[in-house]
Amino acid sequence: MNSLSIYVARASGLHSLNPITKLILTLCLLVSGFALPGLWAGYFILILIIVPLAIWGNVLDRLTQIVLKISWPFILSVFIIQTLFWGKGTPLFEFGPFVPKLEGAIFAFTSSGRILFVMADFILFSLTTRPDTLMISLKQAGMPGGLAYIIVTTLQLVPRFVAKANNILDAQRSRGLETQGNLFVRVRALLPLIMPLVIGSLVEVEERAIAIESRAFNSSRKETSLIEIPDSQLQRLARIGMGVIALVAIVLGMLWR
């Protein structure tokens, strides 16, 4: 793993798949998870599909660590807000002025499953797909270079910000800034962090623009690559099948509702 992505190199079958195949699979699971109705739809996709894929890719431990670290604040907020402020419903118990509702708890449980599966879906893709091979495969498939660049840059956005923020924090600590302690100390430490982070990000945007122009990014000529992206007829058929599955999930969801 490097600072430009959360990709983890593994010698697995999932890693060896064409990046477009993994991208289509990620989008298929996303569409199916939101299209299919029911309380357990998100949990079913997470447990029955994403977890086995993570085991196949040998990244289950890393996937679990990242998903839980990111998702627990959102899940906790959903449960607190939905159960306590649902409005009219079936009371679960009374705790002073607070009366959690059963309907709010069910909605929070369903929403938590969707939060977990969406995060796990995209993080699994990022853990098993190198950004450079993804961009090359997208451009070789005929996607405009600008759109492919936007997709890859989006995947790299959070790791870049985290790495840059850590570097700034280390630099500020070396100058004697206190970053550990009570809430007031932590909030005060944010001010010397935000300004260099924003300015550094603006400078990086300009540097990236200069770099891609120097590489003839907007050239109309066909590009070549030293990296060979493996693909097969079976994967191409699988991508078509995943598209059909996503359409079927949408139709079933509409009929159910």
Q: Are 71 and 79 in contact (CB under 8 A)?
A: no
| DSSP per-residue letters across 57-125 | TT-HHHHHHHHHHHHHHHHHHHHHHHHHS--SS-B---BTTB--BHHHHHHHHHHHHHHHHHHHHHHHH
Q: What is the pTM of this model?
A: 0.76
Distance CA 53, CA 36 (A): 20
End-to-end Cα separation, the chain, in angstroms: 43
Q: Are 101 and 87 in contact (CB under 8 A)?
A: yes
pLDDT at 177: 65
Q: Which amino acid is at 191?
A: L
pLDDT at 189: 63
Number of neighbours of residue 78 by Cβ within 10 angstroms: 19
| Angle, CA of 207, 149 and 12, to the nearest 5° | 115
Beta bridge pairs of residue 174: none
What's the alpha-carbon Rg for the chain, to the nearest Å? 22
Domain ranges of the chain: 13-219+232-251
pLDDT at 3: 47
pLDDT tens for the chain, residues 1 to 257 = 444 568 888 889 999 999 999 999 999 999 998 888 777 888 999 899 999 999 999 999 999 998 988 888 888 888 888 888 887 878 877 777 777 888 888 888 988 999 999 999 999 998 999 888 888 888 777 777 666 777 776 666 666 666 677 777 777 777 776 666 666 666 666 666 677 777 776 776 666 667 666 666 666 666 666 777 878 899 999 999 999 999 999 998 888 86
Structure tokens at 231: 């693909």
pLDDT at 144: 72
pLDDT at 143: 75
pLDDT at 74: 86
| DSSP per-residue letters across 122-168 | HHHHHHH--HHHHHHHHHHTT--HHHHHHHHHHHHHHHHHHHHHHHH
Distance CA 153, CA 2 (A): 15
